[in-house]
Amino acid sequence: MTDRIAFGLAAIIFVAVGLDLAFGWGGSVFLLRRFLDLVRWVAFWR
C-alpha cells in the first residue's frame, strides 16, 4: 500500500466518522466496539 492510498483511506474514514457523529447515526460506537474485540482477539493470539 502506498502512502497516497493510505492517506486516501484515512481521509475517507475520518469523513465517515465525522458524518456519523454529526448526524447521530451511532455507527461509530458499533465499529469501535468491534475494533476493540478484534484487538483483544489479536492480542490473545500474539
* Predicted pLDDT at 25: 79
CB-CB contact of 3 with 10 (8 Å) = no
pTM flag (> 0.75): no
* Predicted pLDDT at 40: 92
Place of cell 466496539: 33
* Predicted pLDDT at 11: 93
